Amino acid sequence: MKTQIIVLHRYAYGDSSWIVKALSPDVGILSLLVKGAKSKKSQFKAGIDPLAHSEIEIRYNRHKNPSLIIPKEAALQNYFPKMRSNLQSLASAQLMAEILLKLGKEKSHATEEFKWLLNNLKFLELNAVKENSLSIWLHELCNILGYAPALSKCGRCGQELLQPADLWPALGGAVCETCLGTRKSGYDPIFLQELGNFANGKNHEKQISWPRIENYFLGHLKTHTGALENLRSWEWLTETRRLP
């Protein structure tokens, strides 16, 4: 079969080969053993570089699902050279890839995950990364995986909210002031206002602290998936944001 892939990660296997982790819209996460790929004469070349969008031909049995698949060929579709030349865009893309690698065991969401990642790589190729890009990406990923927090309605009474009074994970998101009652909110009111603005589509508000929104959605995904610990690319993204 032929399938599209985006390369999420790879590591050396012996002196001449790579093991490649890639996201396919048809299969989910693929583990590919690409023999001889380090050779200058290899037919795979840039087609298996991290973040490359390629088409590969493989023998895949949905019933046996082997741990390692040896691809026949890889035809590069897009290398995203402009994105790679911008450190912050590249760091953002690598974080997206690492998150999907850690979460991508569920085949049922593979098509939506692939499209969402590819759309964002194409955006980063044409535009510099924006302050709100990662927040929007994480929010939509929550939607794709079925973990989207309810932020514009109270999870208890269903009342429409301009901003949450508190966030209750057990209810799947926000609560209103009436349902909160005399209890003290566990969140800073300014952050709750920012989150309310975000949930209501005000994604370009200059006063929003985007790293706090990102941290909220990352924490939400960690809680609901049990994954996303030790994100190495998060540290690098943080470093690139400090550069002048």
Nearest to 43 by CA among 51, 34, 52: 34
Query: What's the CA gap between 239 and 87, in Å, rounded?
Result: 10
Those residues whose C-beta lies under 8 Å from the C-beta of residue 235, and which sit 6 or more positions away, are none
Q: What is the pLDDT of residues 53-79, one digit of tens each?
A: 999 998 766 655 567 899 988 899 999
Nearest to 7 by CA among 16, 24, 34: 24
Q: What is the pLDDT, as a whole number, of residue 62?
A: 63
3-class DSSP state of 147: coil
Query: What's the CA gap between 192 and 167, in Å, rounded?
Result: 9
Residue spans per domain, the chain: 1-79, 81-244
pTM given for the model:
0.91
Burial of 204 (0-12, 13-18, 19+ CB in 10 A): exposed
In the structure, what pLDDT confidence band is assigned to residue 42 with cuts at 50, 70 and 90? Answer: confident
Would you identify the CATH topology of the domain 1-79? OB fold (Dihydrolipoamide Acetyltransferase, E2P) (2.40.50)
Copy the structure tokens of residue 158: 């269903």
In the structure, what pLDDT confidence band is assigned to residue 29 with cuts at 50, 70 and 90? Answer: very high
Query: What's the CA gap between 107 and 18, in Å, rounded?
Result: 23
Q: Is the pLDDT of residue 205 over 60?
A: no
Query: What's the CA gap between 192 and 221, in Å, rounded?
Result: 18
Those residues whose C-beta lies under 8 Å from the C-beta of residue 115, and which sit 6 or more positions away, are 25
In the structure, what pLDDT confidence band is assigned to residue 178 with cuts at 50, 70 and 90? Answer: very high
Those residues whose C-beta lies under 8 Å from the C-beta of residue 48, and which sit 6 or more positions away, are 7, 10, 18, 20, 22, 32, 34, 37, 54, 74
Helix axes 210-225, 87-103, angle to 10 degrees: 20
Copy the structure tokens of residue 73: 């060929």
Q: What is the pLDDT, as a whole number, of residue 22?
A: 97
Q: What is the mean pLDDT of residues 99-120?
A: 90
Nearest to 196 by CA among 161, 222, 223, 241: 161
- Which of 58-72, 99-113, 208-222 is predicted least confidently? 58-72
Q: What is the pLDDT, as a whole number, of residue 183?
A: 95
Q: What is the pLDDT, as a whole number, of residue 104?
A: 73
Q: What is the pLDDT, as a whole number, of residue 64?
A: 59
CATH ID of 81-244, from 1.20.1440, 1.10.3470, 1.10.10, 1.10.287: 1.20.1440
Q: What is the pLDDT, as a whole number, of residue 8?
A: 98
